[in-house]
Amino acid sequence: MKQQSTAARPPVHHEQLAYAGVLDRLSHLAMLFLAGGYMTYVFRLLPQKVGIADIAANWHLRASEMQARLDAPVGWSFIASPESFLRGDALSYLSIILVCMIPVACLLWTAPSFFREKRPVFGIIAILQVVILAVASSGILVR
């Protein structure tokens, strides 16, 4: 570690700024979506696939046991049909999915910058990371 006396701030890599820019915008959007989706859900502004009271009556059970009883939204099940999508619980669930998708969007945006800046190893690492997250989000691993 070296300390250098200078008032000028060191430049930050272009790809890092690209990642930060997408992260900034999407994180604000996701937080708004989280709040809006939840309000829609708990104030019952839209119909629900599984009522809140039913969830609350079973939240002491294991996830597998609750799922066997209630068929609440899991994975991408809420986009099975337009009817299942336009529901309060599905909307709130979608907001959680959006939060989980943020790193994917950031990495997809940043990967080309790594190649442009002649850092292909990190471009490949970013793409591999996207593949891992895509596999996780496909549900293949838990079937």
- Give the interface with other proteins as residue ranges (CB under 8 A): 1-7, 9-10, 12-13, 15-17, 19-21, 23-24, 27, 30-31, 34-35, 37-38, 41-42, 52-53, 55-56, 59-64, 66-67, 72, 74-75, 89, 92-93, 95-97, 99-104, 110, 119, 121-122, 125-126, 128-129, 132-133, 136-137, 139, 141-142
Indicate the SS3 state at residue 51: coil
Q: Which residues of 121-131 are buried (b: 16+ CB within 10 A; e: fewer)?
A: ebbeebbeebe
Q: What is the DSSP letter of 87?
A: S
Tell me the closest approach of the beta carbon of residue 82 to other proteins, in angstroms. Answer: 20
Tell me the closest approach of the beta carbon of residue 32 to other proteins, in angstroms. Answer: 12
Tell me the closest approach of the beta carbon of residue 1 to other proteins, in angstroms. Answer: 5
d(C-alpha 113, C-alpha 98), whole Å = 23
Q: What is the DSSP letter of 9?
A: P
Tell me the closest approach of the beta carbon of residue 52 to other proteins, in angstroms. Answer: 6
In terms of CB distance, is 13 or 83 closer to other proteins?
13
The closest alpha carbon to 95, from 113, 114, 78, belongs to: 78
In terms of CB distance, is 2 or 81 closer to other proteins?
2
In terms of CB distance, is 85 or 122 closer to other proteins?
122
The closest alpha carbon to 73, from 57, 51, 43, 40, belongs to: 51
Structure token digits, residue 42: 């708990």
